[in-house]
Structure 1
Amino acid sequence: MRPTFSGILPFLLVYAFFACETATTSTQRPLFDGQSFEGWEGDTLDTWRIAEGMILGGSLLETVPHNDFLVTEREYGDFILTLKIKLSGEEGFINSGVQFHSQRLADPPYEMTGYQADWGQGYWASLYDESRRNKTLAAPDSAQIMDWIKIGDWNDYKIHAENGRIQLFINGHQTVDYTERDAGIPQLGRIGIQIHGGGKAQVAVKDLWIEELSGGR
């Protein structure tokens, strides 16, 4: 015997309720509003600017004198961050990246210390420890990564940091799966966009979305 519509209706209502509940309780939110530096701090007079919904850092006309970072005012613990990134430049050291679980240094004040999801020749989608251990902690296969990235064009970057485990993805491909073994390394800090010094280079980022998993404040 086939069930009547009246018999199916309660199940449909329950399904619709939970579907709507899931959709409305997502914790993903934009990290950049596309129009202002609200929630961010840095050298917004000379190094960082906003154009057409993008954050732009550096210059293709003049050599970037030193590393510089646009940094969130808030700290974040466990999270999933997604963004689009494009790096341009042909002269000098062309490099950028996304800092996380990081802090600004007092000397020099423009530098940061912490993890960096790196982005640049020889460092594509690798994990670097900026101004701390000063080394690459994990990196993808140097040949394979060149099949996954779009040099000079937009790339989808994803950073998943949770319980000391860091996973990086570029254009849907996992490039890093690293677990921090040093209990003294903070798993909380600011997020920052870097433009590296020493080259005529410009980084552009847009569509930044973050989902806090736990530990943020």
Structure 2
Amino acid sequence: MIKKSYKPFSLVALLLAVLLTSGCKTTAVSQSKAKKDKEGFVQIFDGKTLNGWEGDANYWRAENGTLVGEITPDKLLKANTFIIYQGAQPGDFELKLDFKITETGNSGINYRSEKLSDPPFALKGYQADIDGKNRYTGQNYEERGRTTLAYRGQKTTIDPLKNPSANLRDDVKRNAWSGLSVTDSIGTAASLEKVVKSQDWNEIHLVIKGNRLQHYINGTLISDVTDNDAANRKMSGYLGVQVHVGPPMKVEYRNIRLKQL
């Protein structure tokens, strides 16, 4: 309980100091109490604050209705960092949001992920990749795990390895998982590149049901994974968005909507 002798100004200053030194951590709002739209989606970012999200305040802020991740020349990263949604750890769900990223940017949307303590604000799990040069946007990449599970335009199946190595990374070849099998094409890399608007707003839609993981951008299916690798896959976990190690950059997210299935 706060004693009456504490002055309001001092309390505000103390809270700001805690946020700046240890990252932004706010109370999550229960999804059961949130208002759903006509399609059953719930807004999980209010556009004004970081309520319900946890991340490093040096790199994340709420500004003009957007969730902003930014690396500046005086605050370069040593490890990828995320801002992590605290309101749910969904299994089957759909997620819709808009993103915009600068040309030098590297980001992504993690889901069904494990939260790590070292480094802080790190996630391990599936990722819908986003990059400013538009080489990988929409592919399925497993952060700190099996790496690439599907490039753009690929429908893949991930099967268990018959003789897995003791070290997971030993089964990664040329930055892709050895258990990846391409079962179909859903478009050429050149045609799908044109779907993404450079340095402009794009809508991404994740459809995650059971072991099938589909990434759509601006209404077009970009990658489609069926993960049969029970030893390594995850069926639920944290959601978060990333700022990647690299040069100064900026990524913005807005209209972040979640529908649990």
> Secondary structure, in 3 states, of the residue corresponding to 2:102?
strand
> Secondary structure, in 3 states, of the residue corresponding to 1:186?
coil
Q: Name the CA distance, whole Å, in 1 between partners of 2:82 and 2:210.
A: 25
Who is 2:116 aligned against? 105
Who is 1:81 aligned against? 95
Number of residue pairs matched?
A: 187
Q: 1:157·1:171 contact (CA, 8 Å) conserved in 2?
A: yes
Q: Name the CA distance, whole Å, in 1 between partners of 2:246 and 2:62.
A: 22
Q: Evaluate the alpha carbon distance shift between residue 63 and residue 88 of structure 1 in structure 2; reply closer, same or farther with a 3 A threshold.
A: farther
Summarize deviations over 1:9-41 as a string: whole Å, max 9, x none.
xxxxxxxxxxxxxx9885311011111112111
Q: Name the CA distance, whole Å, in 2 between partners of 1:129 and 1:88.
A: 23
Who is 1:56 aligned against? 68
Who is 2:211 aligned against? 164
Q: Name the CA distance, whole Å, in 1 between partners of 2:121 and 2:150.
A: 23
Q: Evaluate the alpha carbon distance shift between residue 24 and residue 177 of structure 1 in structure 2; reply closer, same or farther with a 3 A threshold.
A: closer
Bigger Rg, structure 1 or 2 = 1
Who is 1:29 aligned against? 42
Moved over 6 A (4+): none
Q: Name the CA distance, whole Å, in 2 between partners of 1:86 and 1:169.
A: 15
Residues 37-186 of structure 1 aligned to structure 2 (within 5 Å): 37-44=50-57, 46-59=58-71, 61-62=73-74, 64-65=76-77, 66-73=79-86, 74-90=88-104, 94-120=105-131, 121=133, 122-140=135-153, 141-184=188-231, 185-186=233-234
Q: Name the CA distance, whole Å, in 1 between partners of 2:204 and 2:223.
A: 12
Q: Name the CA distance, whole Å, in 2 between partners of 1:157 and 1:81.
A: 8
AA of the residue aligned to 1:179: T
Q: Evaluate the alpha carbon distance shift between residue 161 and residue 96 of structure 1 in structure 2; reply closer, same or farther with a 3 A threshold.
A: same
Greater relative contact order, per chain length (Cα 8 Å cut-off, separation 6+): 1
Q: 1:89·1:200 contact (CA, 8 Å) conserved in 2?
A: no
Q: Select the structure that is richer in strand.
A: 1
TM-align CA RMSD: 1.9
Who is 1:192 aligned against? 240
> Secondary structure, in 3 states, of the residue corresponding to 1:149?
coil
Task: Tell me by how many angstroms 1:135 deviates.
Answer: 2.7
Q: Name the CA distance, whole Å, in 1 between partners of 2:45 and 2:127.
A: 19
Task: Tell me by how many angstroms 1:61 deviates.
Answer: 4.5
Summarize deviations over 1:191-216 as a string: whole Å, max 9, x none.
00101111211110000111110xxx
AA of the residue aligned to 1:189: G
Summarize deviations over 1:155-190 as a string: whole Å, max 9, x none.
010001001111111011110111111123111001
